[in-house]
A and B are shown apart, each in its own frame.
Chain A
């Protein structure tokens, strides 16, 4: 006999520490004792994401969501809800706004990711079934190019590639000069070089048709018949699916000549990039498509006026495009209702680092960091404390615990000295060293600087050198001055965004974590225990039971001690590899 009801008990880490296992056992016991045991199944599940309100129990199929459940509540859940059909009011998640109730803890709205994980990306008919190409069909027959741009203007959509420039304005520039140009190009920027970001790849892998449709819409609005997708060769699956998607779209008459019999022609080609970060910059990207080395050139002229092969060119990011068919179909006003005053719609974040539920989340602009990290991301693993979130990759900075409740949008992030960037969000806990993380971003900038202009080429290397010295315990107070002094000329004099933004991680972390820099410089101490040169490993004699594991594992043979007696580390010979620390099962090897 199949079960009629399911009682899901969260067995994620946080809920488990709140006794969810006992709740599970209690529920199981109570059902076994009663006649309903054939009707209800008690199940352990993964984390629901609302760990702050755990332990959590959810009843299916009615989707009742219980929070802060205690072992003694098990009886009420079984007797009142399962047997008598009366949900236990006092345990249900309360929401101030009843309209939001239906979405419970689910704070995401999926617009750019609307089809990801739902449709088969290799079958165009599944895209069509979910309103795919309805926007293009409507636009070609019922709208003038200016109507499309007008809808985009109403929507308030801004570029998701980083800078947040209003999309309608770019399209309008090109639209307005299209009669003076013999050719116009549409480019999709799928370079995605930000460390930690992978939303563009996921969209192309999960819903490639949405980007093709949006590019065709751009072509119609701006008077172009040719588009290029610039994508890095490291994304083979996305490339393969794009090729398949383009073939199918041509077969269905949605790409190519005379689309849907409207007389409008538009086709797309793919250009592979070798994966240099600077090639994501629009003028470098254009040079790369032209077959030149991918180096930025001064702007203006902007690509909208003088782009690919000197022709007006619209260049947008993958996520930007993915939003557009939906905006045209449902109207700009609908999109404009979502988000904040100046940042409309949603943003996809790639949540990684020290977070329970890593993955892609799409939230309305203005969602707070706390909601993203604790309600959706399920909080920090192993009960550690949140330290900061790095956003905007090498162009961005950190948001700290004191800003957890700031609504996130382009403006607020900028005001905090960080950046939206493409939406990578790397969560750090107390075990992460801020100076070390900053050094990682500078390292990246040094490697990726194209070298065309001196402030960036030399500045990034100087800054990186200083950070390296600080992490090695060779920092001086002057170094902090020097870092600040280098930043301003780099921001002002670098040719492209890479050099202009390279000091951002430093300025941002200096602003919020200056004491951590000072600890490295003055006290020769790395508070997080990350910078090897500043760390000492010692064995706590009160904890050490003399199991000899550490002395056997130490590659430098510098741990001595008798069996069953506390061991000691010879500090002069210790190479700080940390093997003893990892190896000790009793936590006797301590970092200072």
Chain B
């Protein structure tokens, strides 16, 4: 019997939500969000993305997931990178250049320390912690 499409959508949502949630709980996964809206791209996000890919490869980091997103609203600090990994607070880096990207990989991801001068705060807590509600 074919499954009802509505059920399928629900299943997909649960599965995908768990995936996104588990990433952080999972010891090994490093999530890197890069703002690739117009303002991000205009201020150099493409070069940052390239530097990120290269550095991760050079350092042999294979457990990082790069996710491209739209603008976070922090236009004055673009390009932005958000790093989410176990053992470190979620941090948004702003005014990131290819050079800073390499420092972020070496110092934040490998060295577990923050990169001075490029930490920017989130525009709103609600962005991350969404209030619970019934589906």
1/0 per residue, CB under 8 A from B, across A454-495: the answer is 000000000000000000000000000000000000000000
A109 B126 Cβ-Cβ under 8 A: yes
Q: Please give the distance in Å from B42's CB to the nearest CB on chain A.
A: 10
Asked if B79 CB lies within 8 Å of chain A CBs, one says no
Asked, given contacts A129-B13, A131-B135, A206-B70, whether A103 binds B125 with beta carbons under 8 Å apart, the answer is yes
Asked, given contacts A6-B114, A126-B16, A361-B73, whether A58 binds B121 with beta carbons under 8 Å apart, the answer is yes
1/0 per residue, CB under 8 A from B, across A120-148: the answer is 11100110111111100100010000000
Asked if A108 CB lies within 8 Å of chain B CBs, one says yes
Stretch at the interface among A43-51, A294-302, A441-449, A497-505: A43-51
B75 A108 Cβ-Cβ under 8 A: no
Q: Please give the distance in Å from A260's CB to the nearest CB on chain B.
A: 5
Which residues of chain A are within 8 angstroms of B75 by Cβ–Cβ distance? 358-360
Q: Please give the distance in Å from A454's CB to the nearest CB on chain B.
A: 38
Asked if A2 CB lies within 8 Å of chain B CBs, one says yes
In the assembled complex, the Cα of A563 lies from the Cα of B67 at a distance in Å of 59
B6 A141 Cβ-Cβ under 8 A: yes
Asked if B4 CB lies within 8 Å of chain A CBs, one says yes
Stretch at the interface among B31-39, B49-57, B97-105: B31-39
A128 B41 Cβ-Cβ under 8 A: no
B6 A121 Cβ-Cβ under 8 A: no
- Residue from A134, A205, A252 in contact with B71 in the complex, judged by beta carbons closer than 8 Å: A205
Q: Please give the distance in Å from B113's CB to the nearest CB on chain A.
A: 5
- Residue from B17, B76, B114, B117 in contact with A129 in the complex, judged by beta carbons closer than 8 Å: B17
Which residues of chain B are within 8 angstroms of A45 by Cβ–Cβ distance? 117-121
In the assembled complex, the Cα of A45 lies from the Cα of B16 at a distance in Å of 34
**Which partner residue on chain B sits nearest A133 by CB separation?**
B9
**Which partner residue on chain B sits nearest A121 by CB separation?**
B70
B127 A60 Cβ-Cβ under 8 A: no
- Residue from B17, B68, B117 in contact with A44 in the complex, judged by beta carbons closer than 8 Å: B117
In the assembled complex, the Cα of A205 lies from the Cα of B71 at a distance in Å of 8
Asked if B29 CB lies within 8 Å of chain A CBs, one says no
Asked, given contacts A46-B119, A102-B125, whether A117 binds B9 with beta carbons under 8 Å apart, the answer is no
Which residues of chain A are within 8 angstroms of B123 by Cβ–Cβ distance? 106, 108, 110, 359, 361, 376
Residues A308-361 near B (CB distance < 8 A): 329-330, 356-361
Asked if A391 CB lies within 8 Å of chain B CBs, one says no
Which residues of chain A are within 8 angstroms of B80 by Cβ–Cβ distance? 117
B119 A114 Cβ-Cβ under 8 A: no
B38 A201 Cβ-Cβ under 8 A: yes
Which residues of chain B are within 8 angstroms of A253 by Cβ–Cβ distance? 5
Which residues of chain B are within 8 angstroms of A107 by Cβ–Cβ distance? 124
A116 B69 Cβ-Cβ under 8 A: yes
Asked if B20 CB lies within 8 Å of chain A CBs, one says yes
In the assembled complex, the Cα of A119 lies from the Cα of B34 at a distance in Å of 10
In the assembled complex, the Cα of A230 lies from the Cα of B9 at a distance in Å of 29
Asked if A41 CB lies within 8 Å of chain B CBs, one says yes
Interface size of A by CB at 8 A reads 71
Residues B86-111 near A (CB distance < 8 A): 87-89, 94-95, 111
Asked if B112 CB lies within 8 Å of chain A CBs, one says yes
Asked if B61 CB lies within 8 Å of chain A CBs, one says no
Asked if A288 CB lies within 8 Å of chain B CBs, one says no
B70 A2 Cβ-Cβ under 8 A: no
Asked if B77 CB lies within 8 Å of chain A CBs, one says yes
Asked if A543 CB lies within 8 Å of chain B CBs, one says no
- Residue from A3, A11, A46, A119 in contact with B112 in the complex, judged by beta carbons closer than 8 Å: A3
In the assembled complex, the Cα of A11 lies from the Cα of B120 at a distance in Å of 11
| B19, B35, B68, B75: residue with the most chain A Cβ atoms closer than 10 Å | B75
Asked if A450 CB lies within 8 Å of chain B CBs, one says no
Q: Please give the distance in Å from A437's CB to the nearest CB on chain B.
A: 21
Asked if A261 CB lies within 8 Å of chain B CBs, one says yes
Q: Please give the distance in Å from A169's CB to the nearest CB on chain B.
A: 27
Asked, given contacts A106-B125, A137-B6, A237-B37, whether A46 binds B69 with beta carbons under 8 Å apart, the answer is no
Which residues of chain B are within 8 angstroms of A235 by Cβ–Cβ distance? 38
B37 A359 Cβ-Cβ under 8 A: no
B87 A2 Cβ-Cβ under 8 A: yes
Asked, given contacts A116-B71, A117-B71, whether A108 binds B126 with beta carbons under 8 Å apart, the answer is yes
**Which partner residue on chain B sits nearest A235 by CB separation?**
B38
Asked if A279 CB lies within 8 Å of chain B CBs, one says no
In the assembled complex, the Cα of A235 lies from the Cα of B41 at a distance in Å of 13
Asked, given contacts A43-B119, A102-B125, whether A261 binds B5 with beta carbons under 8 Å apart, the answer is yes
A46 B6 Cβ-Cβ under 8 A: no
Q: List 5 A-B contacts (CB under 8 A).
A: A49-B121, A206-B70, A253-B5, A361-B73, A362-B124
Kindly list the 4 A-B residue pairs having the minimum CB-CB distance in the complex, ordered from nearest. A206-B70, A117-B72, A2-B112, A359-B75
